Structure 1
């Protein structure tokens, strides 16, 4: 696994001016230290990629907030409703969020990562 493989598998992160190799490598190194290869087995690369994508997405949001004069790192949950004048929109975030997913429910990559982590973390199942 390396940054070029990550970009090939997740082309939405192809822009190297926004998603720098150094950031990918930072999250890759952390993921390699925290995801046990003997537990993840054949799913390790996908788990690492989802872990990286989740953290890059959150970092991009922080950078955007800073660029427009906001506070980077401000804690926010998923947007559940918004109204402008007489128009409003709401989203049922509970329909896609994982129970007790916390931080990982903040991105679709995090939800996929946590779902996969829960599957590989269950161990053997006997019916």
Structure 2
């Protein structure tokens, strides 16, 4: 897995200024250590890419916060309601939530990763010699 393939699979991260190759490679390296290729088999790369996309999304939030004078790294949960003047919107944040998802629930990529990871961790493994 490399940044070029990652960008092909996740074109929303195509901007090399916002998402430099060095940042993508760093998260690909971290992700590769978190995805057990024996369990994930042919889905190993998608697991690595979802973790990378999750971290890149959080990094972009941090950059956006810092750009407007905010404090990067402050974590908040999903917004359930928002009001501007006389218009308000609310969302059912529980509809797409996973129990005990914690950090992974902060992005749609994290939710997708954790959903797959929970399936990959189910059951035993049998090795043949």
Band the TM-score falls in, shorter-chain normalisation:
over 0.9
Give the deviation of 1:50 after TM superposition. 0.4
Give the deviation of 1:123 after TM superposition. 2.4
What's the counterpart of residue 39 of structure 2?
39
For residues 56 and 48 of structure 2, the distance between their equivalents in structure 1, rounded to whole angstroms, comes to 12
Partner of 1:79, secondary structure, is: coil
Q: Aligned runs of 1:50-65 on 2, under 5 Å?
A: 50-65=50-65
- Runs of 4 or more, structure 1, over 3 Å off, are none
**What residue ranges of structure 2 are gaps of 5+ in the alignment?**
125-129
RMSD: 0.9
Give the deviation of 1:41 after TM superposition. 1.0
What's the counterpart of residue 88 of structure 1?
88
Normalised TM-score (structure 1): 0.94
Partner of 2:123, secondary structure, is: coil
What's the counterpart of residue 29 of structure 2?
29
What's the counterpart of residue 110 of structure 1?
110
Normalised TM-score (structure 2): 0.93
**What residue ranges of structure 1 are gaps of 5+ in the alignment?**
none
For residues 37 and 90 of structure 1, the distance between their equivalents in structure 2, rounded to whole angstroms, comes to 40
For residues 116 and 123 of structure 2, the distance between their equivalents in structure 1, rounded to whole angstroms, comes to 12
Give the deviation of 1:83 after TM superposition. 0.9
For residues 56 and 42 of structure 1, the distance between their equivalents in structure 2, rounded to whole angstroms, comes to 23
Q: Aligned runs of 1:62-77 on 2, under 5 Å?
A: 62-77=62-77
**How many correspondences in the alignment?**
124
For residues 13 and 52 of structure 1, the distance between their equivalents in structure 2, rounded to whole angstroms, comes to 10
